[in-house]
Structure 1
Amino acid sequence: MKGIKWNKGGVVVIYRVKTYKVSEENLELFNEFFLQYLFPNQINHGSHLIGRWVNSYKNKVTAIWAYENLDHYEEIERKIRQTKMHEEAKKRKKELPELFISSSQEFWEMTGDYKEKERDSSETVDI
């Protein structure tokens, strides 16, 4: 894939940025569903969660996942779709109120290898 950066170990790293538009009243339910079904199934098949955030309005949730490359992502997704947990999640989702209004995802790559300079522990930093 053109333009992908290589990390020091020689492995291509891409990031899947998945954003959900949610209703504030179902945010907690959506978080519970994520923790019970989505997170463990992804982790058990090789995904790496960088982080998951909600905006200040509590109407958007964004998760960032790391993969070696698109083939790695597609392989994990293929395996997940074949699991019992995936089938249980689909069934459970039908029983619940609408967990999210819409979702989108993009694949991102790093633009460089950036490091902050190390500071002496006695140094203060004004923010």
Structure 2
Amino acid sequence: MIYRRETYRIRPGMADQLTRYFEECLLPDRLRHGATLVGRWVSESQDEAVAIWAYADREECEQAEATLRHDPRELDRLVTDRRADFLQPTGQYAPPRHILAVSGYITDPDGRVLLVRTAWRSDTWELPGGQVEEGEEPVAALVREIREETGIEAEIHALAGVSYSTSRGGVCNLVFRGAAVGGSLATSAETLEVAFISLSEANLAKFVTRPHFRARVLDAMAGRTVPYEAYRLRPYALIRRTPGA
């Protein structure tokens, strides 16, 4: 794990605008490209801001920075100076944090599977999905991500698989089966291409070139599912339940 520290000298009276720009542009942009925000701080005099981002390694950081989409001219309007340096951890001093992500095996009436190709993983097609935000229910997150990435409205039917990556501090991915129920195909800031593709075990590697993505598709393609339940406590309230098969 490597940490990128960014320091900004804020123009007078621009602290609130910089915070808004960070929340609306910088934060979602970097999260889409694999960064994890450790924290952001503004000095009491509101003339300096610091943000620290975590990446798996220097190479991942450089790849992410090369594909960011925010407008640097807007940032120049808000700050007089900015600089970045890298920090190395000297120990583990906090409870471990894990990222929860979701993917959707979404089919159309003809049985074709919804796939996307992104700018930062242009060598492969993959299932649409993304990171679950804090406090967000996973199925709701998946429906949102599919809509944002592809323009398709999806109905989620069942949990088809769970995968876990030890990179980036630990990423757990829930793979759901579902169906397209509306919308129309459209690319986004995150996707270069979106399409419904006729997939089989024979042609899967032609489209999905990365092995961990292929495993997710194969698990969902097999049709086996397990129960999934989301609920609240105090008082108990069932949010969602899908049966297994």
Distance 2:8 2:73 in 1: 18
Aligned counterpart in structure 2 of residue 71 of structure 1, from 59, 65, 68: 59
Q: Larger RCO: Structure 1 or Structure 2 (Cα < 8 Å, ≥ 6 residues apart)?
A: 1
State how far apart, in whole Å, the 2-side matches of 1:115 and 1:36 are.
28
For 2:11 and 2:66, how far apart are their aligned partners in 1?
29
What is the alpha-carbon distance in structure 1 between the residues aligned to residue 67 and residue 31 of structure 2? 12
Separation of aligned partners in 2, 1:115 and 1:31: 26
- Alignment CA distance shift 1:110-1:49 (3 Å): same
Name the CA shift for 1:98/1:70 in 2 (closer, same or farther; >3 Å).
same
Which TM-score applies when normalising by structure 2? 0.36
Structure 2 counterpart SS, 1:58: coil
Q: 1:115 to 1:51 in 2, by over 3 A?
A: closer
Inter-partner Cα distance in structure 2 for 1:48 and 1:91: 20
Q: Give the unaligned 5+ runs of structure 1.
A: 1-12, 81-85, 117-127
User: Counterparts of 1:21 and 1:92 in 2: how far apart (Å)?
Assistant: 15
- Asked if 1:90 is matched to 2:71, the reply is yes
Higher-strand-fraction structure: 2
Q: How does 1:41-120 map to 2 (within 5 A)?
A: 41-80=29-68, 86=69, 89-90=70-71, 93=74, 98-114=77-93
**5+ long unaligned stretches in structure 2:** 96-245
**What is the aligned-residue RMSD (CA, Å)?**
2.2
Q: Distance in 1 between matches of 2:44 and 2:83?
A: 19
1:62 corresponds to which letter in structure 2?
V
- Aligned partners of 2:17, 2:43: CA distance in 1, in Å? 16
Q: Output the CA distance in 1 between the equivalents of 2:52 and 2:94.
A: 20
Secondary structure, aligned partner of 1:66: strand
Specify which structure has the higher proportion of helix. Answer: 1
Please report how far the alpha carbon of residue 98 of structure 1 lies from its aligned counterpart in structure 2 after TM superposition: 2.1
Q: After superposition, what is the alpha-carbon deviation per residue over 1:21-62, rounded to whole angstroms, capped at 9, x for unaligned?
A: 002401111111111111111011111000000011111100
How many aligned residue pairs are there?
95
Per-residue CA deviation, residues 92-122 of structure 1 (Å, 9 max, x unaligned), is 718xx82001011110001123469xxxxxx
What TM-score comes out, normalization by structure 1 length?
0.67
Aligned to 1:16: 4
Q: Determine the C-alpha separation between the residues in 1 that align with 2:29 and 2:94.
A: 32
- Higher-Rg structure is 2
- In 2, Cα distance between equivalents of 1:107 and 1:92: 24
